[in-house]
Each structure stands twice: as structure tokens, then as C-alpha cells.
Amino acid sequence: MSAESSVLHIEAVTYRETVRESDAADVRHIVHATGFFTPDEEDVAEELVLERLAQGEDSGYYFVFAEQDGTVLGYTCYGPTPATEGTYDLYWIAVAPACHHMGLGKRLLAVTVDKVRAMEGRLLFAETSGMEKYVSTRRFYERTGFTAEAVLKDFYRPGDDKVIYRLEV
């Protein structure tokens, strides 16, 4: 089954935390397919998977993969924020475009929040661009309970603000 050609059956989706070597290519494919990220950002997404494979939990990166029939449809990457107590960062959340607007992102985030809670997390931060292209991303965060905590003007490049979101878990 391919994510591009199948109907998503949310009840048939499974979630796993174990990272496999094949996940690096799957993550790159999903991140690229969204059309939201630069090649450098795609490299970073893939590198975090490879770092987790090489260092395990010492990497500070944790993952949740959403799968149906063995195909990765989306994922999150998160981890504890260094030098804090119970604060976590949501580094990545991405879902294959064919699965957008079907509730997979919301469910994937809920599973991730449950994992953060189990690790005694109390806050989860996410960040995204303030550009018009990212309106749907910002709305997703707001619909799932995040609140915009800060805007850093021209952070990524002139005219591209960083919007930081906060969720109490």
C-alpha cells in the first residue's frame, strides 16, 4: 500500500516508537512530499532519525510513527528541552499529503502528548513559520490546544517570523 494511493482507515493505523533504518528514507519522503520544507530542512529531519539510530535515547530525540499496512503515513519527533524540568519540544510533525484532513495529524499528536506525559512532561513547545504558506500549520496547532506564546520577527529570514506555540500537557 502506498500513502499516495490508499484510503486512510484511521482505526487501522498503528503507532510505534521504535526507530528503524528505513524510517530515515520514509521521513525524508514525507517531509519532501508536504512541499513545506527546504532541502536543508529535509536533511535535518532525516539526520534526527539517523542520530536516534546511532545514539538511542542519549540523542534526546524520540519518535512516534503512524503506519497502515506497513507504510509510514506520518511521524512526530520530540524530546526533552535541555536544562528544563518537564519541558519538551515538538521538533517535527508531518503527515503524508494523501492523509491530510483525515484526523491523522491530530491523532499522532495525541499519541505524542501521551508519551510526553508518561515521561513526566508538563509543557510541549512547537514552532513554525509566520509566513502565509504556514497558515494551515498554525491553525492545526491552535485547533489541537496550543496557544501562540511568542513571535520572533524575521527569525528565519527577513519577512519570515518564528511563531512559538505552547501546550500544557
Q: What is the pTM of this model?
A: 0.92
* Residue 78 to residue 101: CA distance in whole angstroms: 22
The model's pLDDT over 27-72, given as tens digits with 9 standing for 90+, comes to 999 999 999 999 999 999 999 999 999 999 999 999 999 999 999 9
Q: What is the mean pLDDT of the chain?
A: 94
98-125 tens-digit pLDDT = 999 999 999 999 999 999 999 999 999 9
CATH number of the domain located at residue range(s) 14-121 in this protein:
3.40.630.30
Nearest-angstrom CA–CA distance, 14 and 3: 14
pLDDT band for position 7 (cuts 50, 70, 90): low
Domain boundaries, the chain: 14-121, 128-168
